[in-house]
Amino acid sequence: MSIIELIKQRRSIGKMTAEVPTRAQVETILEAATHAPNHHNAQPWRFFVLAGKAREELGIIMAESFATRMAEANHEKIDAMIAKERNKPLRAPVLIAVIAEQPKQARELEIENIEAAAAAVQNMLLAAEELGLAAMWRTGEPAYDPKVKQWLGLEEKDHIVAFVYLGYPATPRLERTPTPAAAKTSWLGW
């Protein structure tokens, strides 16, 4: 399959079976990520692969942070909301936190490191697709939460660009028809 066909075929699949991808598959996906374009060859990404109990530990941190944020809210379903937050990392058998580190050289820009890490995530999603795995890029409040960053051992200014949920699909790919490029393109000087 050509890369264009692979891009058009790829879909985010959030419902996954409990079957765990092999370590070799995860390593292939991580290797693909390291070939993403990046300014000044900064390679600003870091990866944390979570499986088994590590996902539960992350869920506890996420639930505690959520409970703290909701402490002043008077919501009758707060316990259910906290439980839902705790179970988020359990939606896939493997979770990969993708980090964009802060610039280490004066010529590096923070935004360029974030963009490079995002490109690494796209490579991961395409590699997962080629391997027949389900993958979903998620962020949300936990990606910006200081307690989650601390649990991962990150610096305050590091960015969690993605939580890539990885497993085997439990549902078929949905069809999707994106807005045609022509509707989003302006040609200047062409």
Ranges of each domain in the chain: 11-52+90-172
Sign of CA dihedral 127, 132, 133, 139: positive
* pTM exceeds 0.85: yes
Sign of CA dihedral 79, 80, 85, 89: positive
The backbone region for 144, taken as left when phi is positive above 0, alpha when psi lies in -120 to 50, beta otherwise, is alpha
pLDDT score for 74: 66
Q: What CATH number was assigned to the domain covering residues 11-52+90-172?
A: 3.40.109.10
Bridge partners, 162 (sequence order): 98
Residue ranges for the chain with pLDDT beneath 70: 74-75
Express each pLDDT in 14-39 by its tens digit: 899 999 999 999 999 999 999 999 99
Whole-Å CA distances, 11 to 86, 95, 107, 142: 25, 17, 36, 23
Question: Which of 6, 5, 12 has its CA nearest to residue 166?
Answer: 12
Crossing angle for the helix pair 23-33 and 110-130, to the nearest 10 degrees: 140
The CB-side HSE value for 52 (13 A sphere, CA atoms) comes to 2
pLDDT score for 69: 83
Whole-Å CA distances, 131 to 27, 28, 91: 12, 9, 19
Express each pLDDT in 157-171 by its tens digit: 999 999 999 999 999
CB 124 within 8 A of CB 138: no
pLDDT score for 76: 73
